[in-house]
Amino acid sequence: MRVPQMTRVIHDSGEGMQKGVALDIVSSDVNFPKGHFPDYRIGPNNQIIDPEETHEVVPLKEIVAKETTQLLEQRKRLSVRDLREKFEKGLSGASKLSEEAKRREAASLDRQVLLKKLRDVLDTLKGRVAGRNRDDADEAISLVEALAVQLTQREGELIYEKAEVKKLASFLKQATEDARKVAEEERALALAEIEKSRAAIEKVEKALQEQDSASSFFPDQEIEELRKEIREARRIKMLHQPSKVMDMQFELQGLRTLISEKTQLCNQLKKELAMIKRLEQDSSKLFELEGSDTLGSQFCIVPRVDGAPDISSCPAQWYRVISGGNRELISGATRLTYAPEPFDVGQLLQAEIILKADKVTVQTDGPINHASGLERYVESLMKRADIEFNVVVTQMNGNDYASKSVHVFHIGKLRVKLRKGRSTKARESYSTTMKLCGSRGGGNAAACAVFWQTRKGLSYTLAFETDRDRNAAIMLARKFASSCNVVLAGPGDQVHGGG
């Protein structure tokens, strides 16, 4: 709402002198920057809105609350030194805010004085004018009163903000002092630990010097106590020297590795000592089985002592030792090497060598054990729809196979199939004429090979990629054959349970 300028109203010949007097009074008390009243507008709840102050700055109260929240959130994440610096910065900011509040308070007081003078001038003018000019004067007086009320409210808010700033400054000052105290306490504790470690080290060094200079040696108990003090001193010193702690960790790791190697060597020496003792008890045992009692390994008959007879051309026969000490002949296993298959798990193996007119028998130290993780591998394969292995055909009907290309050995729930690409070499359902077992012809790859007789007159020797695939294929085929009421074993094997 725009307040019109004051105009001269002449009632008689004496009004000119009165008007001049009024203007002199206004000019001596109030200095208007413009030639008219400010363009104030009355908003909701009779609040006076100044168009020039529509873009107000953020209130001081909101700034203080926002900074206080940020400081409280960061307080837990800061270190002692950083917390101290942050609090000092916050204290400086609070001081600036306090100074600004003082300036605003002074400006508010000046505004109150100005409004009071303006009200007095308007009252004087009201008594000297009449008609429409008197109504304008009443409206101006009401605007000034509303502005005074709003200014009083803002002054109250300013006083509250000033109190909050003082509280924040006091809090930041106290927090700064607390942070400084914590830093000093931590520094004092660290210095005390360092001095303690130095004193302990000096004490140990002095004791060592005395021990070197003395002609007699300490008793065992004193030496043990000295060692404890040395370890404690080293521990305290290492707490303040992380690089040496890492060096000690690497040294301990090297010592663990060395101990592990020495342990393996010790176990090997124990086994050799046990073999020597058995040899002394029975001098007729000139040979032994070399290999692990685990499925996937390969046994080989080797001489136990130097000067033992050459058996490379001697016939041999392998047996399974079943319950009661009875032996079961393994058909086709007539070489000096033999790779156990799943059918041998849980049983002892024996090899009999015909040396001239004598028979020499060697036996495994214990029953054959399953390979680690083999059963879980077989269970995971059984969940697949198609179980296939990459193989190479090494023999067909006992003769070497010319092609060394890769074939696919498919084991299904009803049949077994061998194919190369899209061409099927052999396919046969489970039946009593089918035979499947580990390769018994010896050789370095016997642990990865199987003998598969599809039917009478057709057999293959297949080499798998790993011994685990070979044993898993045998176990899977026998499980599926058992579901078809067929016992799938090797040539000449007697059914009595097993792998």
- Phi–psi pair at 390, nearest 5 degrees: -85, 125
Residue where a domain stops, chosen among 211, 232, 251:
211
pLDDT tens per residue across span 54-90:
445 566 667 767 777 776 666 555 555 666 676 667 6
Residue 232 has pLDDT above 80, yes or no: yes
Does 201 lie in the same domain as 126?
yes
**How much is the pLDDT for 34?**
47
Whichever domain contains 115, its CATH number is: 1.20.5.440
**Residue 444 resides in a domain:** yes
Residue 460 has pLDDT above 80, yes or no: yes
**Over residues 177-189, mean pLDDT:** 83
Does 382 lie in the same domain as 459?
yes
**How much is the pLDDT for 222?**
77
Q: 309 Cβ partners below 8 Å, 6+ apart?
A: 286, 303, 355
**Residue 496 resides in a domain:** no
Does 206 lie in the same domain as 96?
yes
Q: Is 131 helix (H, G, I), strand (E, B) or coil?
A: coil
- Give the number of domains in the chain: 3
**Residue 41 resides in a domain:** no
pLDDT tens per residue across span 311-347:
888 888 999 998 777 888 998 888 989 999 998 898 8
Does 474 lie in the same domain as 435?
yes
Does 406 lie in the same domain as 340?
no
**Residue 344 resides in a domain:** yes
Does 476 lie in the same domain as 391?
yes
Residue 192 has pLDDT above 50, yes or no: yes
User: What are the b/e assignments for 15-37, b being 16+ CB within 10 Å?
Assistant: eeeebeebeeebeeeeeeeeeeb
Q: How confident is the model at residue 25 (pLDDT cuts 50, 70, 90)?
A: very low
| pTM (two decimals) | 0.44
From residue 312, give the alpha-carbon distance in Å to each of 315, 336, 363.
8, 8, 18
Does 378 lie in the same domain as 293?
no
Q: Pick the residue with more confidence: 65 or 7?
A: 65
Residue 357 has pLDDT above 70, yes or no: yes
Does 388 lie in the same domain as 357?
no
Does 350 lie in the same domain as 296?
yes
**Residue 168 resides in a domain:** yes
Whichever domain contains 340, its CATH number is: 2.60.40.2700
Residue where a domain stops, chosen among 211, 227, 262:
211
**How much is the pLDDT for 418?**
94
Does 406 lie in the same domain as 351?
no
Whichever domain contains 378, its CATH number is: 2.30.29.140
**How much is the pLDDT for 243?**
65
Whether 68 contacts 169, CB under 8 Å: no
**Residue 435 resides in a domain:** yes
Residue where a domain stops, chosen among 191, 211, 231:
211
Nearest residue to 291 (alpha-carbon basis) of 318, 263, 309, 257:
318
**How much is the pLDDT for 275?**
67
**Residue 37 resides in a domain:** no
Range of the structural domain that residue 170 is part of: 88-211
**Residue 45 resides in a domain:** no
